[in-house]
Structure 1
Amino acid sequence: MFKNSEGYADPTAGSAMSQIMKEYRQQQKKRYADKNRRKIYVASKYAGDVDANVKAAIGYCRMVIDKGYMPIASHLLYPQILNDNDPEERELGLMFGLALLRECDEVWVFGEVSPGVSREIEEARRLNKKLRFMKEVGA
């Protein structure tokens, strides 16, 4: 039961607040859970200056979100779980990333094309995915 500032039950205000929250949740669900939202695979360099590259990738993902799409950035996920310095685990992470790429509508390539990004581009072409080469932007 909603209570007013003096602690008394206020069903009218409670009902109004309930309706406002219901409408808000519906808007948020539409905005973020749209099954038709295009999934964009974000391809950018990870190795090298990892801290700078991760920061840049986060910025690229934010740009994708701001344009109304859903970013998929496997290089922000799998290095948190797998050891990127172990060749077998790095390869496993790349394979997982390529599996995610298959589920995306487009591949956006940012910045320098590293060997890992090159494999993603090759896979995108093999799958006839739309490729967009984006200018590298500051994160």
Structure 2
Amino acid sequence: MSKSTQRIIKEKQGQFKPIVYICAPFSGDTTFNTNQAIQYAKFAYEKGAIPLTPHLLFPFLDDASLADRQSALFMDKILLGKCQEVWVFGETITNGMNGELEISKKRRQLIRYFSTECVEVEKCN
């Protein structure tokens, strides 16, 4: 977390809620993965964060379409820049997630890892 974010949290004394990017598998079984993402977003919300969950933002795009998938990944990376933290869920890191994590590392965003049961772990993979 950046020093400016830490300062805001201290000044607001608990009023600040970080925007967290929910990073989890989507491709493959998109229905199951979307339902999982809903649970992860709920968990983040219950922990006092504002979840930004890309799985839920673009239902009009077809993951089976290469053009739509590329558009979604592009938009996801833009939205990622608006977040203070990235929360990674599950043991599997997909190609799309890997790209998001590389960007997060370059931006020095706080990355936290969680199991599919929403238990924080050291690091997946």
TM range (shorter): 0.7 to 0.9
Choose the corresponding residue for 2:78, options 73, 94, 99.
99
- Where in structure 2 are there 5+ consecutive unaligned residues? 1-13, 119-125
Structure 2 counterpart SS, 1:117:
helix
SS of the counterpart of 1:128? Answer: coil
Distance 1:49 1:85 in 2: 11
Cα RMSD after superposing both structures: 1.7
Name the SS of the counterpart of 2:111 in structure 1: strand
Q: Which has the higher helix share?
A: 1
Residue 55 (str. 1) matches residue 35 (str. 2) = yes
Once the 2 structures are TM-superposed, how far is the Cα of residue 68 of structure 1 from its aligned partner?
Answer: 0.8
Q: Could you report, residue by residue, the CA deviation over 1:95-139 in whole angstroms, capped at 9, with x for unpaired residues?
A: 10111110000000001111111111111011110101111118x
Counterpart of 2:51 in 1: which secondary structure? strand
| Bigger radius of gyration among the two | 1
Distance (whole Å) between structure 2 residues aligned to residue 76 and residue 35 of structure 1: 26
Q: Could you tell me how far apart the structure 2 residues matched to 1:126 and 1:101 are?
A: 12
Partner of 1:81 in structure 2? 60
Q: Quote the sequence identity (%).
A: 29
Q: Which one of the candidate residues 89, 107, 120 is aligned to 1:110?
A: 89
Query: Distance between the aligned counterparts of 2:53 and 2:47, measured in 1?
Result: 16
Deviating 4+ runs (over 4 angstroms): none
Partner amino acid for 2:112?
R
Q: How many Å apart are 1:54 and its aligned residue?
A: 0.9
Amino acid at match of 1:105: Q
Q: Gaps spanning 5+ residues in structure 1: where?
A: 1-33
**2: CA distance between counterparts of 1:57 and 1:110?**
9
Deviation at 1:35, TM superposition (A): 7.9
Checking the alignment, whether the CA contact within 8 Å between 1:75 and 1:97 is kept in structure 2 is no
Count of matched residue pairs: 104
Task: Give the distance between the partners of 1:63 and 1:90, measured in 2 at CA.
Answer: 26
TM-score, normalised to structure 1's length? 0.70
- The equivalent of 2:25 in structure 1 is 45
| Greater displacement, 81-90 / 57-66 | 81-90
